[in-house]
Amino acid sequence: MKRSRLVFFVALVAFSLLFGLTAGSAVIAKTKITVSVHYGGGQIEPLQKLFQEYMNLHPDVEIVTQTVAFDDYLKKIQTARLSGESPDVYHIYSLWGPSLANAKILELPPAAVANDVKANYIKSAVDGVTINGKIYGIPTEINNYALVYNKKLFKEAGIAAPPKTWDELVQIAQKLAKRDAQGKLTTSGFAFMRGWDSAVVHPFMALLFANGGQFLSKDYAKALFNSPAGVAALEQEVELFKVKATDASSEVWNFPNNTVGMMIMAPWYEGTLKSAYKDKLDEMVGVAPIPAGKKGLATSQYTWLWAVDSNSKVKKEAWELLRWLNKPRANGKTSPQGDFLVGQGIIPGRKADLENHNELKTDPFMKVFVDQLKNSISEPNVLQGAEIKTKLMDEIMSAWAGKKTPKQALDDAAKKVNEILEENY
């Protein structure tokens, strides 16, 4: 009798467990999607809220976020693949794309995703996610460059408007520059970014493009930045050192201290300026197009994108998540991704987000960057792109320091870069 009760009890428990797994109120087996991003601080929380929104809509999905510092990100991707612990989704800088695609780490998106990118994103954003003629992901944030200037210093110097030519910029920079009794520069008329490759190379690229030059040949077989247009661009930069409107100690990061008159900067710096100037940002800071070159207005741009790991076991679900994140909501206007980016002071690449986020049109700081998207040229996605930019950075800075002429510096850089290109193309 006792044995029969025990058998009945075990059968009842087994039935209950089976029923529990199939009933509506039961625990649902979840598909886990791991997403790797470089966002930190106040940026990660709003992104995770969007992921939570998606999980609420899809109870069978669990999204786990991994945050990796920008400096370590590419290396982490490569080592994670070697260890067999890759995430499913990456948010990557477009310049990393060629090496990751070449190593077969990135999965090509479904045709519907690629077609959506082609149809609904601005051209420079599409170029930013295109590698060897193929789209490898969904564009997210865009960063181009413009001239940022200190309105307070301009007013004190009697300067009514930002420069429209480089000669005007040099004259204004001279007028803004101030030195102490020992000759030390206390206010820089202009300051250059420095400290990493893109900081030095991207503004040079902007001037190169404005002069009608190209960075590399279309087949990536040869460096072209040492053309007459490139030499003229670097001569423009060096002129600011020659007239003593800037020097090696001048830092763009001193702009909030009102000791920098002008700089070529990307829109992501607005957050720092807002923290410094608070409600006086528009009163203190102006933004204008980089003075026109021989071929008119042009600037450089770089892009970030969402991509999926080719070893992911949940590729289909990963692309579905990314499509939802970047597709306009039911109102047909803005996407969750666009809402997140604009909320962080970042320019999105989707046309609908650009058109329907009025903040981008009314914010005096962001408006100029958005207006200049039509004149923005994406940096080429080339193998060993970071190494190429580092070689060029070193030579540009040697010209700034007066150690080489602009032509010699660029010719030397081109020789080193061509050796890299020869290995890959």
**Residues 133 and 166 occupy one common structural domain:** no
CATH code, domain with 37: 3.40.190.10
Query: What tens-digit pLDDT sequence spans the chain (425 residues)?
Result: 444 444 444 444 444 444 444 444 456 678 999 999 998 878 899 999 999 999 999 999 999 999 999 888 988 998 888 888 899 999 999 999 999 999 999 999 999 999 999 999 999 999 999 999 999 999 999 999 999 999 999 999 999 999 999 999 999 999 999 999 998 999 999 999 999 999 999 999 999 999 999 999 999 999 999 999 999 999 999 999 999 999 999 999 999 999 999 999 999 999 899 999 999 999 999 999 999 887 778 999 999 999 999 999 999 999 999 999 999 987 778 999 999 999 888 999 999 999 999 999 999 999 999 999 999 999 999 999 999 999 999 999 999 999 999 999 999 999 999 999 999 99
**Residues 134 and 45 occupy one common structural domain:** yes
Is 81 part of any domain?
yes
**Residues 6 or more apart whose Cβ sits within 8 Å of residue 137:** 92, 97, 106, 109, 129, 305, 306, 307, 308
**Residues 203 and 312 occupy one common structural domain:** no
**Residues 170 and 224 occupy one common structural domain:** yes
Is 182 part of any domain?
yes
**Residues 263 and 156 occupy one common structural domain:** yes
- 138 lies in which domain range? 31-142+302-373
330: phi > 0 → left, psi -120 to 50 → alpha, else beta; which? alpha
Token pair listed for 239: 């002129």
Q: DSSP code of 350?
A: B
**Residues 365 and 402 occupy one common structural domain:** no
The DSSP result for 47-60, as a single string, is HHHHHHHHHHH-TT
Is 1 part of any domain?
no
**Residues 346 and 270 occupy one common structural domain:** no
In sequence order, what are the beta bridge partners of 134?
A: 131
Is 13 part of any domain?
no
**Residues 348 and 333 occupy one common structural domain:** yes
Residue at which a domain ends, from 330, 352, 373: 373
**Residues 83 and 217 occupy one common structural domain:** no
Q: How, if at all, do strands 376-378 and 299-309 pair?
A: parallel
**Residues 293 and 345 occupy one common structural domain:** no
Number of domains into which the chain is organized: 2
**Residues 6 or more apart whose Cβ sits within 8 Å of residue 391:** 413, 416, 417, 420
Is 58 part of any domain?
yes
Give burial (CB, 10 Å; 0-12/13-18/19+) of 196: middle
**Residues 90 and 190 occupy one common structural domain:** no
Is 43 part of any domain?
yes
Which pLDDT tens digit goes with each residue over 298-333?
999 999 999 999 999 999 999 999 999 999 987 778
**Residues 282 and 409 occupy one common structural domain:** yes
Is 5 part of any domain?
no
Which of 194, 238, 232, 187 is CA-nearest to residue 212?
232
Which pLDDT tens digit goes with each residue over 159-198?
999 999 999 999 999 999 999 999 899 999 999 999 999 9
